[in-house]
Structure 1
Amino acid sequence: MSFATVRSGLIFLHRWIGLILAPIFLVIILTGAVLSFRPIINASQSSAPVGVGVDVAALKTLLGTLESRGTFGGASIVDGGRAIAVMSQDPKVGGRWEIATGQHTPAPAGGIDIFRTAQGLHQTLLLGLGIVVEIATYLMLAIMVVGPFMAWLRLRNTLMGWHAAVGWCLLPLTLTSPVTAVMLTLGIGVGPRPELPRPKRPVTISEAVTIASRDLDMTRLASVRRFRGGAVLVQIAGGGAGSMAGAFAVTDTGVTPLPGGPNLVKQIHEGTWGGAWSGSLNFIISLALLGLTVTGFVSWFRRWRRNRPKPLAAGADILVAHASQTGRAARLATATYDGLTAAGEKAAIAPIGAVKPKDLARFRLVLLIASTTGEGEIPDGARAVAKALKPGSLKGVRFAVLALGERTYTHFCGGGQKLRSALLSAGAAEAIPMREADGDPSATWVSWIDALRAELGLTCTVAQLPPVSAPVALTVAARQRLDDPARGDTLETWRIMLKGADDLVFRPGDLVRLSPGEGEVPRSYSVGSSSQVDPGRIDLTVRLHSWNGADGTPHLGRVSGYLVREALDGATIEARLDPHPGFNPPSDPAWPIVMIGAGSGIAPFPGFITERRASGRPGPAWLIFGNRHRDGDFLWRDLFEAALRDGTLTRMDTAFSRDPGDGAQVQARLMENAAAVFDWLVEKKAVVYICGRRAMARGVEDAIAHILAAEGGLKPEAARDEVSRWLAEGRIRMDTFD
């Protein structure tokens, strides 16, 4: 069994023991904090000698009088021997009594003995449940001991960062309370239990004072209270040479000294070993334990609230769902939803990947707009729902699909087709035949809306078509080779800088779609610059795609070959600039991000960095980049190292698969830094951007799921579900290619 497996189990136990027993822990901790004030108050009242010069005869008379009026548990000598404080729930008996005059000062009406009440709660919950308190104490000790095994001490200004820091730094101090409590329950450090003479009958407190007077100097009496077996416990303050001091059990047969001095374990637990100083220390320990309990619960509550399924619009019976890769399907879905609600239909809108199958089943009609990624694949955020649909789970649900694609690809509208098949397999019925859009979907979308009106009787007001990018003429302004073939077996990669005749509006991660000729498959390149920095310049990272045919003849990719070999400086290129909001940096530049790219997948991230730097308030940013050779194809190295120096980039990790002594891929770097990855994703709530080949992205998904299981205590299936949910919600964003 690996340490990761053991650690996962410890995290699970730590979390759920803490949650289940949190109410009992809070009672124990809060009452412990109250009781820590007892030695502080006692120290402040100890200026006068306790029990010096007690008038024993008058005291016996007073105690006898009190016993004739009612029962009481005991009495303490106060005010230098001039009075006693009587413990009783009867207001006629409890309170302060002058020994010489018998003058009575009752306890405040309706008042309670706060220390006695706190002690009752602390030991038995005032319900006689001492065994429950003991079990809770053992479990509190257990979760405190395993705490340090769950994460190394890392100072970070987050809720769980403070939780871990307090737990680590104050562990030796905070352990004293549960450790001494356990020792007391086990009788460790308490000393032998004295054997008392077998009494013939119980004695009253006044009788005990008379019996004890034969052997003890009762003028130095400190306190007297009922004891076990019908005995009375007498406490004598220290006196001069030869005087007996300490605790004594008094029965009808005589006085028995209780062996040993003060119980050190009990003193440490109660904070009485150093007077006010030790009481204050116990109060600090209680505050630390309270903080650990509260921060642990709040952290769990935040995670639970964050992970709750987001309810769709109440009362809606039509769901407009989208499976979008570049944002086009999402824009069409929004326009559809706006048209339906404007016309009075009860509709809701959501990414289909973020909707659970049981929630899909409550809509009478599902309108799905689905795009295609790669060579006919379901968009990343919607993959999980297709797997989660079970046969018969959507029986009674009707649906209509608008599939987006381009016929120049091998599997035209493959994403929409696969989702349609999944819905049919789950028992849903197709309300109207699927419509397929080739290229610009606007006309097909309008036709689909018309069919929904005519065949299903829906009312939908189409205010305007979603914006479609127009062709734009771009000029090659400059070119720079990013790899160095002299340093290793590199893949030829270039920075291509394009200029527009007019200022353009774009963000890093948007797409430039280029086609070398009419009817040929367009190639999309990620924009690596921002119009917020320079509205006239678009940076692309272009890797030359090359291969040898069956006869050994070398071939170049049509678009990459044109950009790298043919389009010299000054050449004009016809292109489309498509927004890709699903892969833009957060609108708030202070939001934490993790950028993961391999090879030319680094393309959008230079723009992320320059835009965040220009904002003047960049938040935490972590780059994980992989390629073949550090010295040969560390693409954009100068820019990223400069960003690391000026703080725009918080952290950078690299993996060069063909370098001696490295040989790793980005997935391995994630696993090596699992604790930091967990911190960024769960505590910092960073948005993760993954750009590169699809196989690499799948490996990163698996690594993140493994980290959530190992670091967060999730079961593997739950960790994979969490990754799927983050994909659907946009916490993890992908721009991948085959």
Structure 2
Amino acid sequence: MSSNNPAAVPPAVLSDSQWNQINQAISPLNPQQLTWLSGYLAGLAQTPIQQVVAAPTSEAATSASLTILYGSQTGNAKGVASGYKALAEAAGYAVTLSNMADYKAKQIKNETHLLIVVSTHGEGEPPDDAMALHEFLASKKAPKLADLKYAVVGLGDSSYEFFCQTAKDFDQRLAALGAVAIKPRLDCDVDYDSATEAFGEALIADLKDALSAPSSQVVAMPSGPVGLSVASQTYTKKHPFTATLSEAQKITGRDSSKDIRHIEISLEGSGIQYRPGDALGIWFKNDPHMVDDLLTLLAIDAQETVRLGDDELTVKEALVERLELTQSYPTFVTAYQATVQSDDLAALLADKGALREYLQTRQIIDIVREHTAEGVSAQQLVDSLRGITPRLYSIASSQSEVEDEVHLTVALVEYEAHGHTHQGGASGYLAKRLEEGAEVQVFVEHNDNFRLPENPDTPVIMIGPGTGVAPFRAFMQEREMQDAEGKNWLFFGNPHFTQDFLYQTEWQRFVKEGVLDKITLAFSRDQEQKIYVQHRLLEHGADVYQWLLDGAHIYVCGDATHMAKDVHDALVQIVEQHGNLDREAAEAYVTELRKAKRYQKDVY
């Protein structure tokens, strides 16, 4: 029996069946929703025995329902969609929540009300689990949808050229098929919480006439306490756990061009559970020295008070703990230009291509240095900035092995630009500014799109150059603890063998003990001609194809812009050559691998 509180037992007033139903119903809820529900139930306990409960009186009242589909690469869209499901259920609506990957596309012709929540991946591409539905709606097989009412919520990052492109695609295609939008599409930037919450509340209200039962009947409800105890042991993005940094050790050589750290964080006392393939969210703090420099440039007193939402705090506290400074974004340039009236910034805003290029190598402080102006108030500064968003790192450990710890493999982002040294927000925080033993706010982002096969005897091929090797360390720890019989093959690459072979002794032990059957290495700078993992794949194409015939699952982790695309092309070439197929059939073969969840990617 599962429960939010492991120590809880069913009270005498509830049967085991009732207790299981309650736990199943509340498991998707976040702490804010649980708090609301506990108050609602407490209110019911104090009301008279006669309660008004909605009951459908016609077939039409029961046929209309809301289907919520999400497509998510990192879990954000799933989280938003789950929140909408809770809102709809609280309103009494019939609602179904489904991952697009698990949804039968042809079913869409039977839907009455549809809500799509989807992120955009890569260069305007749908996330993996949204790809099949995205392709279906764009194909000739897509049905007319004149009876469908729909809404679309897109999650994206305005710093990228194809902002919320997948959401735009779904919106345009549904409209072209005759469906009617309940509300205009919502395109959300990285700080999406307030926007998605407001949209959800408005949407639920808009659906009242369509999805609410038209009449009600009086039924008896028991009075007295219901005996429900709500535990506060759920840690999420909004309610992170205060963990402890145990270790931050550099694992690249002294002469390496990379500074990569092995990070160990204690989760002791949290009860947090994670699985290989999941990510850890890190709420970081900005460099106080950078904040001081920024305030000095604008002649703002660090102790001046500002407001962020309902909170009042000093401008320095806001800049260190709450606002995004290490990534640049168009909304800052727009707001800052309106304040300082810079002609140069105005020209950039008129040319989206030039603006994107300008922002790529600049942090917020660089923009201020280049366009310093007097008269910018503390409140104007914070109002122009968006909130910090946590950074997600692939977990590099199996909980079966490390228990109440979690391990990460973090590349320190550090570079010289525009006459100054720059560091990444979270990587600099973990690698340089956070002392061992210090506290760090964390949460687990579950990733059901990057899972080991359920059958431990299934072979796996893992492709993870650089820090992309992190989840495969977790995979191997897990397979070892399972005594899995399935074969394991790792492709790993980095610049130099002597400086950049991450976790070398561990891989050697896995090979020696028979946990890792094959390891294929690609050290790109150890010879005149650069060699990458995709080249090694092609060299071993016959064996890779045989593993596929034997049922192997393929996993790719790391750079999305170049590596993942090159690896994909290599896989298609392997299938084409060794399967004696033409290019189109080889592409279809690889697509079927993805649909069967035998080809999974965790790329960024």
Q: Same fold (TM over 0.5)?
A: yes
Kindly, what percent of the aligned residue pairs are identical?
27
In structure 2, the residue matched to 1:454 is: 208
Which of 111, 126, 141 aligns to 1:378? It is 126
Report the alpha carbon displacement of residue 622 of structure 1 after superposing the two structures with TM.
1.2
Q: Which amino acid aligns with 2:204?
A: D
The alignment partner of 2:389 has SS state of coil
| 1:668 corresponds to 2:529 | no
In structure 1, the residue matched to 2:100 is: 351
Q: Deviations over 1:100-137 (max 9, x none)?
A: xxxxxxxxxxxxxxxxxxxxxxxxxxxxxxxxxxxxxx
Alignment check: 8 A CA contact 1:393 1:427 kept:
no
Tell me the distance in 1 between the aligned counterparts of 2:446 and 2:127. Answer: 17
Alignment check: 8 A CA contact 2:492 2:522 kept:
yes
Q: How is 1:125-204 mapped onto 2 (pairs within 5 angstroms)?
A: none
Q: Deviations over 1:554-590 (max 9, x none)?
A: 2111211121111121121122222222223334433
Q: How is 1:531-546 mapped onto 2 (pairs within 5 angstroms)?
A: 531-546=399-414
In structure 2, the residue matched to 1:322 is: 70
In structure 2, the residue matched to 1:202 is: none
Which of 225, 248, 253 aligns to 1:484? It is 253
Report the alpha carbon displacement of residue 449 of structure 1 after superposing the two structures with TM.
6.2
Report the alpha carbon displacement of residue 682 of structure 1 after superposing the two structures with TM.
3.3
In structure 2, the residue matched to 1:400 is: 150
The alignment partner of 2:562 has SS state of helix
Which of 174, 187, 210 aligns to 1:423? It is 174
Q: Which amino acid aligns with 2:129?
A: G
Which of 277, 280, 294 aligns to 1:512? It is 280
Tell me the distance in 1 between the aligned counterparts of 2:456 and 2:193. Answer: 32
Which of 396, 416, 426 aligns to 1:528? It is 396
Aligned residues: 414
> Larger radius of gyration, structure 1 or 2?
1
Q: Which amino acid aligns with 2:244?
A: T
In structure 1, the residue matched to 2:363 is: none
| 1:434 corresponds to 2:434 | no
Report the alpha carbon displacement of residue 459 of structure 1 after superposing the two structures with TM.
7.0
Alignment check: 8 A CA contact 2:465 2:494 kept:
yes
TM-score (norm 2): 0.60
Which of 538, 546, 554 aligns to 1:679? It is 546
Gaps of 5+ in 1: 1-314
Alignment check: 8 A CA contact 1:527 1:603 kept:
yes
- What is the alpha-carbon root mean square deviation over aligned residues? 3.8
Q: Deviations over 1:77-121 (max 9, x none)?
A: xxxxxxxxxxxxxxxxxxxxxxxxxxxxxxxxxxxxxxxxxxxxx
Alignment check: 8 A CA contact 2:82 2:97 kept:
no
Alignment check: 8 A CA contact 1:316 1:347 kept:
no
Which of 463, 466, 488 aligns to 1:599? It is 466
Gaps of 5+ in 2: 1-62, 215-229, 286-320, 323-386
Q: How is 1:209-228 mapped onto 2 (pairs within 5 angstroms)?
A: none
Report the alpha carbon displacement of residue 401 of structure 1 after superposing the two structures with TM.
3.6
Q: Which moved more, 1:473-482 or 1:376-385?
A: 376-385
The alignment partner of 2:449 has SS state of helix
The alignment partner of 1:658 has SS state of coil
Which of 521, 531, 550 aligns to 1:654? It is 521
Report the alpha carbon displacement of residue 625 of structure 1 after superposing the two structures with TM.
1.0
Q: Which amino acid aligns with 1:419?
A: F
Q: Which amino acid aligns with 2:573?
A: H
In structure 1, the residue matched to 2:243 is: 474
Q: Which has the bigger relative contact order, CA under 8 A and spacing at least 6? A: 2
Report the alpha carbon displacement of residue 707 of structure 1 after superposing the two structures with TM.
2.1
In structure 1, the residue matched to 2:439 is: 572
Q: Which amino acid aligns with 2:590?
A: V
Alignment check: 8 A CA contact 1:320 1:333 kept:
yes
Q: Which moved more, 1:501-510 or 1:441-450?
A: 441-450
Tell me the distance in 2 between the aligned counterparts of 1:537 and 1:694. Answer: 31
The structure-2 alpha-carbon separation of the partners of 1:608 and 1:365, relative to structure 1 and needing over 3 Å to count, comes to same
Tell me the distance in 2 between the aligned counterparts of 1:699 and 1:458. Answer: 51
In structure 2, the residue matched to 1:209 is: none
Report the alpha carbon displacement of residue 643 of structure 1 after superposing the two structures with TM.
0.6
Tell me the distance in 1 between the aligned counterparts of 2:437 and 2:124. Answer: 36
The structure-2 alpha-carbon separation of the partners of 1:395 and 1:529, relative to structure 1 and needing over 3 Å to count, comes to same
Report the alpha carbon displacement of residue 480 of structure 1 after superposing the two structures with TM.
1.8
The structure-2 alpha-carbon separation of the partners of 1:318 and 1:513, relative to structure 1 and needing over 3 Å to count, comes to closer
Which of 576, 579, 584 aligns to 2:451? It is 584
Tell me the distance in 2 between the aligned counterparts of 1:325 and 1:716. Answer: 27
Alignment check: 8 A CA contact 2:150 2:179 kept:
no
Tell me the distance in 1 between the aligned counterparts of 2:567 and 2:95. Answer: 39
Alignment check: 8 A CA contact 1:367 1:401 kept:
yes
TM-score (norm 1): 0.50
